[in-house]
Structure 1
């Protein structure tokens, strides 16, 4: 098999292409709407017959609320990085994933980005970012170097007290034992025991370029157990619109699987 044939085959079997195939088939099926309106459906939200908003508008408003809320307990299943990644891929051709970032304490974070960039020996810029960020924002720190921590227990406690939603460090963090006991989401690319100095030599609230991935202040960021995905602010509503379609498609796929149908048959791959 040639490289081109392999590429064509892989594209046909991508999650987005399979969902597109299923979605195009289901658009003519009226029962999907009826099932969604039922109170028995375990969907991420409940519709209100007296509400003037459409079902999507209700969903979008709840996503926006979750973005500004530091407590995601009620909305933990509302969106996920795999679904957002599929939506971004379908909409833009780019999956939005920021590589190498993983959760340190198993918690989920969602919010608008406040950026900081510094070098690994300077944890002072991280403290400055805490003072400058607003409640509900997610601090994203890009670090030149990966061998010295710019974040840890004290910074996490300070950020938590201020109402910041979480911290994502493209660099090293420490104090993992303490972070696992805190209700404050932290993500990083490395864990070390050592730190540098409070030099305050970095920058805050500026554009960050991660090998072509542009992170701007005000962009939306989502982190969960699978990793971290960035949503550019200028296409946020479009992405959530595609996410809505994906969740509805997945909902019916799961429903048909529970009825004994083959996934190959459902997706038209047989």
Structure 2
């Protein structure tokens, strides 16, 4: 799975959408690619937990919590993601336990860190269009992330 987002942008300038440089890497995998599964959370991360406990088959969960300043993912959710073959998690929000999340071989990109976890009890939505960082994330699109950035394409890109 060797690719560089910069090379993909050069090769497919009309097919890729580049996320604004708002996210940082907090996972053990520094380069990830896979199809997108979208999750919209308005409080509790219960819906995300259930998703990460299901088979990921190399997919990437793209999570929108509208940049709410509480941690959505920590080392326990990263362990679920790793055990169930998720390639990565992209969050328009915050994470915690980063000393441990950086040791787990799953990509994790977020706005930053927050030690406080979310406590609200409410359901989220799966398989919905999400927009943040200047681009749309659609269920089934392809996401590529590395040290240079995060890009999305409606179709898979050949390296």
Normalising by structure 2, we get a TM-score of 0.87
Q: What value does the CA root-mean-square deviation take over the aligned residues? A: 2.1
**Quick one: which of 105, 112, 119 aligns to 1:183?**
105
Map of 2:148 onto structure 1:
226
Query: Is the contact made by 1:88 and 1:96 (CA closer than 8 Å) also made in structure 2?
Result: no
Indicate the structure whose relative CO is greater, using CA pairs within 8 Å and at least 6 residues apart.
2
Residue 127 of structure 2 is aligned to residue 192 of structure 1: no
Residue 7 of structure 2 is aligned to residue 86 of structure 1: no
Q: CA–CA distance in 2 between the matches of 1:165 and 1:198? A: 27
1:15-36 CA-to-partner distances (Å, cap 9, x unmatched) read xxxxxxxxxxxxxxxxxxxxxx
Deviation of the 1:211 alpha carbon: 6.5
Residue 23 of structure 2 is aligned to residue 96 of structure 1: no
Deviation of the 1:131 alpha carbon: 3.7
* Structure 1 residues 90-239: aligned runs within 5 Å: 91-92=14-15, 96-99=17-20, 100-105=22-27, 107-119=30-42, 121-132=43-54, 134-197=56-119, 199-210=121-132, 213-233=135-155, 236=156, 239=157
Say which structure is richer in strand.
2
Q: CA–CA distance in 1 between the matches of 2:120 and 2:31? A: 28
SS of the counterpart of 1:96? strand
Q: Matched residue pairs, number?
A: 157
> What stretches of structure 2 of length at least 5 have no aligned partner?
none
Q: CA–CA distance in 2 between the matches of 1:143 and 1:188? A: 11
> What stretches of structure 1 of length at least 5 have no aligned partner?
1-74, 244-270
SS of the counterpart of 2:80? helix
Deviation of the 1:146 alpha carbon: 3.3
Q: CA–CA distance in 2 between the matches of 1:115 and 1:167? A: 10
Cα distance change of structure 1 residues 228 and 133 upon mapping to structure 2, 3 Å threshold: farther
Normalising by structure 1, we get a TM-score of 0.53
SS of the counterpart of 2:41? strand
